[in-house]
Amino acid sequence: MMAKGFNRMPGGGGNPMMAQLQKLQAQMAAAQERLAEETVTATAGGGAIKVVMTGDQKCQSVEIDAEFLKDADAEMLNDMVLTAVNMALDKSRELQQQVMGPLAGGLPF
């Protein structure tokens, strides 16, 4: 048989650590929403290839300048697109670190 009030904090007050965790959880959810809405842009080939990516690493668009296609071969095009995508991923991760990094300091470990 469990004693009455077994799971309660002394004095009837709330658990400050739990309140801090709930606040942090809400801040992290807001930061994740912000990352899903914010975008970064990377270009390669002097702007011939442009990649737009969200802060949560979802590619929104890839644009290839039509003039670039006139002189580019398939291998060059592949390399330029790969370069732009990787640069966009790096920028997206940097944005994620800027947005989420300060929240990690609030973890009560």
- Identify the helix (H) or strand (E) that includes residue 53: strand 49-54
Q: What pLDDT does 30 receive?
A: 86
Do the domain assignments include residue 66?
Answer: yes
Crossing angle of helices 74-104 and 16-37, in 10° steps, is 160
Supply the range of the domain harboring residue 54: 25-100
Do the domain assignments include residue 12?
Answer: no
Do the domain assignments include residue 76?
Answer: yes
What is the number of structural domains in the chain?
A: 1
Please give the model's pTM, rounded to 2 decimal places: 0.72
Do the domain assignments include residue 40?
Answer: yes
- Checking if the pLDDT of 33 tops 60, the result is yes
Give 13's pLDDT tier (boundaries 50, 70, 90).
low
